[in-house]
Structure 1
């Protein structure tokens, strides 16, 4: 790579039995306008999948330093030295170390200045648990890997990653993520809401260039509790959190009834919506723009994006998986890394 040349993006292969390879190959095949990226994984697995899908995508093993040059003529793959055996639609437990290693290497490449940002293909968490993976998902694992960058901005010195789903018309953030709905009231605290909102406001300014982000905070219960007649959490937990944020100078309002937050006039009044549960946040943004929505991890010392869908084992290798969300994730990662989202 010549001095001053843009750094490529590091793309992980994800679950090799899923659609990660399908959409990666399809993204490169239609790559006009995409920033250069390289795949971390097994070059032979990529070649096998290209042949199966009938895609004329040359695959070339390279290093991060050579990826930008290779990208113009072939899909650059950085070989991790861990061959994968999975075929489409089939999980192979022995592939788990390679999946985990790709994520670790992507983060390390950014830390070492070999890559501009991390883009991750979907993983199957159950398939990784036998290899010692102990995290609920990608987001939490990335928070652990961020320790290598030094002390985080939180009061405990840790990095606290926050999931944001970003579409063309809507950004949403779940305050509680991969937990059972019955557990949410016990996990929801004023401190959690305030810390999540601080991270969202900080990154919307630092990464997205929004000078004074406007945050809409949704309630937990129907009608935001309706003055306590449908649950006490909105009055006892959410409202004090919003008041604390306003006292800090953050433009926040709520708790708002979540069923009236997502029509066009309402969306025009805020830059991001924070919702108390996973589905409150993900359903509206995926309904509005499923194929263009990107999973962005806030609160990290590096840029990380991902498509907003799972491994889709049932359609892997069939040539029907759409690369739109991955391509949107690659484009957004490039813009965020360049500082002009």
Structure 2
């Protein structure tokens, strides 16, 4: 009997001066049953492996199906950095290089060349300093794929999706709209079904204000926007609870009755999730026509090149991407 080809997972190295290349080198040591295809600078990847005392079997990707991957083996789509890389030292000259690796991964997924993409962390500030507008992986892949997307992080049994992502807190209330909230919840509902195999997803929706507005005394967004949007979606058959106060929604009782939580803004839901599972949490982009997962942390420039960075989140992200690919083939 002929063995089935391994799922092809593209893995981007992220910010070259950060911990991403080291984490990808560590990822190669796992026994995950996936064809791991690194997209980035091969010399940088080998140097990162050497700094951690790892032997890396790096081979050019020829696009052919792989039925078995040995520990330490990675295939490579070579994308040279534009300028020499020094661990921990950002360089605007490499901003375009970083985006070129993301573009290659996204385009390869859209063309069916890869089954999923897993991303190491990037440094948004240096890309913007180079004069390139960039607010994050999530928004970049959405634009590349022409899709409406939602950011969701998962750790253990907790999944937290976001109604807004990388916005100043002052801009959040205006960004919570009836149509936008409904679009977000439809994406979360659909991908919990399609990608996670949950037949009837149960979603807990947080309010925006303290005490979910306290009946309008602490804000009217719950009354004017959130509740009407939820009521209309419930009439369509979505199982939604809320809006609930964020300070009590994460207790075991409410969480145990739901498959995901929708937070209104970045720092409303993610601190709870990261407190419960930092280093093992996974960032998932919902709504894309392909599977994309990522780490739950940043570039950790202070740790780069010091053999101190933990690869747990990247390994968890790759494991989840693999599970979702396998599930999609069932």
TM-score normalised by L of structure 1: 0.91
Deviation by residue 1:207-251 (Cα, 9 ceiling, x = unmatched): 100000001110011110111111111111111111111011100
**Counterparts in 2 of 1:311-330, with a 5 A limit?**
311-330=299-318
- RMSD of aligned alpha carbons: 2.0
CA contact (8 A) 1:225 1:231 kept: yes
Identify the residue that residue 283 of structure 1 maps to in structure 2: 271
Deviation by residue 1:87-120 (Cα, 9 ceiling, x = unmatched): 2101122212221111111112222222110111
Aligned equivalents of 1:199, 1:81: Cα separation in 2 = 36
Aligned equivalents of 1:83, 1:42: Cα separation in 2 = 10
Identify the residue that residue 75 of structure 2 maps to in structure 1: 76
Distance 1:4 1:26, change over 3 A: closer
Aligned equivalents of 1:196, 1:206: Cα separation in 2 = 15
Is residue 166 of structure 2 the alignment partner of residue 167 of structure 1?
Answer: no
Is residue 38 of structure 2 the alignment partner of residue 39 of structure 1?
Answer: yes
Identify the residue that residue 98 of structure 2 maps to in structure 1: 99
Q: Select the residue among 239, 242, 263 that pairs with 2:227.
A: 239
Identify the residue that residue 150 of structure 1 maps to in structure 2: none
SS at match of 1:59: strand
Aligned equivalents of 1:230, 1:34: Cα separation in 2 = 51
Aligned equivalents of 2:283, 2:226: Cα separation in 1 = 24
Identify the residue that residue 23 of structure 1 maps to in structure 2: 23
Identify the residue that residue 154 of structure 1 maps to in structure 2: none
Shift of 1:134: 2.0
CA contact (8 A) 1:161 1:298 kept: yes
Deviation by residue 1:61-94 (Cα, 9 ceiling, x = unmatched): 3334366656555232211244552221011222
Identify the residue that residue 139 of structure 2 maps to in structure 1: 140
**Counterparts in 2 of 1:166-245, with a 5 A limit?**
166-245=154-233
Identify the residue that residue 127 of structure 2 maps to in structure 1: 128
Distance 1:211 1:260, change over 3 A: same
Identify the residue that residue 156 of structure 1 maps to in structure 2: none
Aligned residues: 328
Distance 1:34 1:318, change over 3 A: farther
CA contact (8 A) 2:9 2:36 kept: yes
Shift of 1:132: 5.2
CA contact (8 A) 2:31 2:70 kept: no
Query: What runs of 5+ residues in structure 1 fail to find an aligned partner?
Result: 148-158
Identify the residue that residue 153 of structure 1 maps to in structure 2: none
Shift of 1:53: 2.2
Distance 1:194 1:268, change over 3 A: same
Is residue 254 of structure 2 the alignment partner of residue 266 of structure 1?
Answer: yes
Aligned equivalents of 2:144, 2:69: Cα separation in 1 = 28
Aligned equivalents of 2:67, 2:19: Cα separation in 1 = 24
Identify the residue that residue 118 of structure 1 maps to in structure 2: 117
Aligned equivalents of 1:333, 1:174: Cα separation in 2 = 20
Distance 1:112 1:3, change over 3 A: farther
Aligned equivalents of 1:239, 1:268: Cα separation in 2 = 22
SS at match of 2:215: coil
Distance 1:339 1:299, change over 3 A: same
Query: What runs of 5+ residues in structure 2 fail to find an aligned partner?
Result: none
Shift of 1:34: 5.0
Identify the residue that residue 5 of structure 1 maps to in structure 2: 5
Q: Select the residue among 332, 335, 338 that pairs with 2:320.
A: 332
CA contact (8 A) 1:42 1:83 kept: no
